[in-house]
Amino acid sequence: MADDTRPLASLSLTHVYYDPEDPLSFLCAWLALLPQALCVVYVTLIWSTREVEVALMFLGQLGCEAANFALKRLIKEERPRRIHGKGYGMPSSHAQFVFFWALFLVLFLFIRHKPPHDPARDARYRSRALSRAERVVGSVIAFTAAAAVGWSRVYLGYHTVRQVLVGCAAGVCCAVAWFAVTSYIRDQGFLDWALRIPLVEWFRFRDLLLEEDLCQAGWEKWEEKRIQARSSKARKVK
pLDDT tens digits in sequence order for the chain, 238 residues long = 456 566 645 455 667 777 788 888 888 888 888 898 999 999 998 888 888 888 999 999 999 999 999 998 888 888 887 665 567 778 988 999 999 999 999 998 888 877 655 555 555 555 667 778 888 888 999 999 999 999 998 888 888 889 999 999 999 999 999 999 999 988 888 888 888 888 888 888 887 777 766 666 666 777 777 777 777 776 666 6
Peptide bond into 20 cis (omega under 30): no
For residue 228, what are the contacts with CB-CB under 8 A and spacing of at least 6?
Answer: none
**Do 98 and 145 meet the contact criterion of CB atoms below 8 Å apart?**
yes
What single letter denotes the amino acid at residue 127? Answer: S
**Do 72 and 87 meet the contact criterion of CB atoms below 8 Å apart?**
yes
